[in-house]
Amino acid sequence: MNGEPLLVRRLPGRLTADAAMTITRLFWPGAERAGKIIERVATLDDAQVSRLLETMREDFAHLPGGLEDIFLAHYEQVGERVKMPEPITPQRKLLIGAYFTLEYAFASAALFNPSMTPAIDQGGVGPGSLRFVMSLRTIGEGHVSSIVFRRGVIDANGNITMDPPGPFHEPVRRAEYHQFSKARFRVKLAGMGVREEVMKTVLARLGDQFTAEDLLEVVRGPQAVVDGLLRDSPQAPGFEWLAGCDYDIETAPDGDITDMVLFPVSEAESQGMEDMRLVRFTDNGSVRYYGTYNAFNGRQLLPQIIEMPGLNVARVRTLHGRCARNKGLALFPRKVHGHYMMSGRIDGENLYILKSDNVLVWDEAVKVQEPEFPWEFVQVGNCGSPLETEAGWLLLTHGVGSMRRYCIGATLMDLDDPTKVIGRLDQPLLMPTDDERRGYVPNVVYSCGGLIHNRILVIPYGISDAATGFATVSLDDLLARLVGSAARRGE
């Protein structure tokens, strides 16, 4: 054993569920009911329409500006599904749009499983302090998970000040009809369990390179209807599921990452977007954010990645390859010897290091860590992206033990070859205290990524799938313990 546990300082204050954190979303009751609602609005006179709109502006003044733009956008979306009366005044369009708009409290149940990374913009930060960006998993109505971002500052002593939240909005998304590779698409379908004969039927009608539009034409077109193999096949929707997973996000010209709420819109995400590992990635002088997360449709998990190269656009893509599976893939903050690297638990039990020349395709992995100590006998995995130190890559880990208790540990890997483990803790760095054991999922402390500042390791962590806390530990003490563990093991 490594002797006495390391001294971990839990910071005061927590981030908790907040019903005041809301966005507006399209409300769609179905075509038949929508038609009746529109007919009822049509019976109102102009004075009634004006009064109702004015009342709505007053009642929902707490929402961000641009509410009328939202009403109009929702009016147009509804108009694509049902017939609208003609002619129609601008005021009446706004009122119809209001009837198809709802306010959604996306963090009313939980705010947890955070990751943090240094902000790209450090302007205006005081001496000895560091600005960070944080991603958090939220849960709202219907137990649907979404992802939200916050900012804050860490001072020289490791104390944290969070920026005020909001205002939030659901950003505009548009489909990105880029080229799919048939070979890679086949691998992903096979991983989903789609039968070979079904894959052959669909893929035979596509070229080696095809777009999502091409795929949907094959699956939804007349030939798919008469083809007995695809008609009513429970696996056919999987093609549409994958086709809708790649899209771009557009924000306002003066937008900020912390304004966005990534709420599920595609079939693959329909039951949640979970546990983003956010990392500031540098490559040949360019800097951007990447975030890997799990898309969940209630049955299957799909590993996704979001790339944020600038303020006003983000690209969401599906990760492909034999090793792009299971939960918790976390990208290294830079390339290693010209290769992208990731940490992941691709078999659900053990920790792997993945390597690729393409950030979207992962076919190569090496197992580097198995459950060894009692507190991790069930499984091990990462708690975010590796952190670079002079002693090696520091990887926060999680272990699951008896009573499904989640604890946080640490592993040190070689800088030049991260598949070589230098040392690992045989005791948890962080385990649930009595006041952290109660929550939606009891007995859990879990992080999606920490950072290092002023020789202090800062660990944001989820508390039993309910809230978020913060802890710090001396980097020097932790590294000494990890390096010493290798010597004690005779390595």
What residues in the chain have per-residue pLDDT under 50?
A: 225-226
Q: Share the mean pLDDT of the chain.
A: 89
pLDDT at 230: 54
Domains of the chain: 8-16+114-165+255-488 (2.115.10.20), 22-105 (no CATH), 177-243 (no CATH)
Distance CA 412, CA 343 (A): 13
Q: How many CB atoms lie within 10 A of CB 469?
A: 24
- pLDDT score recorded for residue 2: 54
The angle that helices 90-99 and 46-59 make with each other, rounded to 10 degrees, is 50
pLDDT reported for residue 225: 46
Q: What is the pLDDT of residue 266?
A: 77
Query: CA separation (Å) from 60 to 22, 67, 95?
Result: 11, 9, 14
User: CA–CA separation, 476 vs 159, rounded Å?
Assistant: 18
Q: What would the pLDDT profile of 187-233 be if each residue is shown by its tens digit? A: 777 766 677 877 888 888 888 888 777 877 777 666 654 455 555 55
pLDDT confidence of residue 176: 55
pTM, full prediction: 0.88
| Backbone angle region of 464, left / alpha / beta, with phi > 0 → left and psi within -120 to 50 → alpha | left
pLDDT in the model for residue 248? 84
